[in-house]
Chain A
């Protein structure tokens, strides 16, 4: 069955620390990968996406993610987090135009 796994459920960092959130997927064939973010009190919104091409994807607000096919991973990174990055982060995947499958989410808390 297709699935997306996020192993970090709750991460606490100090401002300026580096961030890496793990995401692994189990899909056969060509996969599309996404990171969504939900800031407190706001809607879920797209942070970045990978369809094909360069496996290092740049998103908004200084985030990036790297697709490593051999590891079935799509980890999210940011070199220096800010208090405003406090949010819940969801990894998601699909194939073709099928509905997205989401991971269980990672709650990031950045302390000033």
Chain B
């Protein structure tokens, strides 16, 4: 497809379980971002991959959160031992390196932790 693709679109899990969220960026985009959107909280930055540079992990809220980007393309965000406060929409975005700030967003994964 032409846009950023995220899967699953919805995920319901039990507290304490691990979840994996996937993001397929636009082909050729070197930068990939993960954000979290909670009701009334705006977008919270989680992690940022830029080419072959070390990722900026400064936004990850705890060591239960991790992300990787394989081959400079697909990214997986993993949340271990999920908690109810992890419930949110997880958004992925990508951009061309030379157009810093012009992000193309996916439709997000709605995560519900029961």
- A interface with B by C-beta (< 8 Å): 6, 9, 32, 34, 36, 43-46, 49, 51, 90, 92, 94, 96-105
Contacts and interface: CB of A to CB of B under 8 A. Distances in A.
A102 B43 contact: yes
B64 interface: no
A103 B42 contact: yes
Q: Please tell me the size bucket of the interface on B.
A: 20 to 34
Contact of A99 (B4, B40, B45): B45
Contact of B91 (A44, A51, A104): A44
A104 B40 contact: yes
A83 B71 CA distance: 44
Contacts of A9: 40
Given A99-B33, A99-B48, A94 B101 contact: yes
A99 B105 contact: no
B66 interface: no
Nearest to B48: A99
Given A97-B50, A97-B97, A46 B102 contact: yes
B35 A102 contact: yes
B103 interface: yes
B103 A32 contact: no
Given A90-B42, A99-B56, A104-B41, A43 B105 contact: yes
